[in-house]
Amino acid sequence: MEISFCQSFVQVVCILVHLLSSQAFTSQHIAGHREELASDILVLPFLNCGTFRERILEANLWWSSGGTRSLLHRDADNAINCLLNGTKDWVLVDPSYEDLIPIAKENVDAYGGFSLLNPDSVNLERFPSFQQVPWWYANMSAGDCLFLPYGYWHQVRSHGSKNLAVSVLFSRLQEVDLKECDEAAPEFIALSKSQMVFHYDGFGDQTMGNTDPFELKDMLLEVCQENGAVRQLELHQMMLAGYNELDGLDIQPADRDVEINKEIIEQLMAVLDQSNSGEVSCDVIKSLTLDTLTVLADVIDHDPANTESYEYARYDASDIKNALPVISLPRGSPNIIIANLPFAKWRQVLCALKYM
Ligand SMILES: *[C@@H]1O[C@H](CO)[C@@H](O)[C@H](O)[C@H]1NC(C)=O
Ligand SMILES: *[C@@H]1O[C@H](CO)[C@@H](O)[C@H](O)[C@H]1NC(C)=O
């Protein structure tokens, strides 16, 4: 108990350290294995029955130090964002007005994306069509939850001193079976008790924003049924189709992307083609387990932003223990010390960790 509490505490500290260092938004997987964090978060009842229950993808903790804002952007998955403390103001734009939004060209994710607008000062001379875009405010205060459909454009602003929110992401769904929901009235359950696809135990690369493994299975099956089997060639076509769908053009990816795709395809085949025969039958695709699909999704979508060398830092419990005496903190229960730590001290902890 002592040890696991401590680990969970360390994870919170990591988030905080990151938060204070960047003075900006931060998000972090809520680890499925970090029961102490996940058991405090309740998942809305509608997500606990029928198709929804099976399709919860990941959960993220969002923390702002206040005075932060995002770009106008859209995300790939559906989300329920619940605010636990503070306030958060959203500007929402329906995707049907997408053509009027200047969107940054990206070839990473066909569903996500961000706009080139400066949210603090929109340049209508440069982007005149944006004037015609209707938008809505959603001003949240602690206790509110917002349903953000996938692909819905949003810009988020945090005033005040700080805020804390949890977003639970679930699949883009074409159809849902909700029979079970009528029979037994669904209830709130703890995030730690819900079945969620992507977990993060605090070690190694993160899986934030990875491809939906259920959709991946549908895609593989479709390709397989069209071609009788899945081989390197089919995987190549599948990835190229994704590429062109994004740009809406029949163009070839850059050499660098071809090289990356080749590596990805080899890794996918290494998982799929257990008999090493160069092809995978549709029966094998049909029987792929969620665990295997989740591994494949991570191969396809291994985002550098999810690696330690790029966007986030992780500190071991011992790092933090070692850093604390450097600034001669009083001994005692670590969470009490941290909770009362003034901002300046936090900067010192941060620096101590950085240069260790
Ligand atoms: C938010 O946090 C502050 C202090 O950390 C606390 O005083 C306040 O009651 C919290 N608000 C809510 C709605 O939980
Ligand atoms: C909602 O948020 C916006 C942006 O921060 C603000 O201008 C507006 O006054 C807020 N509305 C309410 C009712 O608080």
Global confidence as pTM: 0.78
CA distance 8 to 16: 13
Domain with CATH 1.10.238 in the chain: 213-302
Residue-level pLDDT at 286: 97
Give the mutation target among 70, 89, 140, 144 for probing the ligand 2 site: most ligand atoms within 8 A of CB: 89
CA of 68 to the centre of ligand 2 (A): 15
Side chain identity, residue 186: P
Residue nearest to atom 8 of ligand 1 (CA): 85
Domain with CATH 2.60.120.10 in the chain: 2-208
Nearest ligand to residue 63 Cα? 1
Q: What is the CATH number of domain 213-302?
A: 1.10.238
CA of 339 to the centre of ligand 1 (A): 13
- Using H for helix, E for strand and C for coil, what is the string for 304-334? HHHCCCCCCCCCCHHHHHHHHHHCCCCCCCH
Residue nearest to atom 12 of ligand 1 (CA): 85
Residue-level pLDDT at 284: 96
Residue-level pLDDT at 222: 93
2-208 homologous superfamily:
Jelly Rolls (2.60.120.10)
Residue-level pLDDT at 201: 74
10-residue averages of pLDDT along the chain (356 residues): 31 39 46 67 92 93 90 94 94 95 69 89 95 96 95 93 92 90 86 89 79 93 94 88 54 72 93 93 96 92 76 67 55 42 57 49
Cβ neighbours around 164 below 10 Å, total? 15
CA of 135 to the centre of ligand 2 (A): 13
CA of 137 to the centre of ligand 2 (A): 7
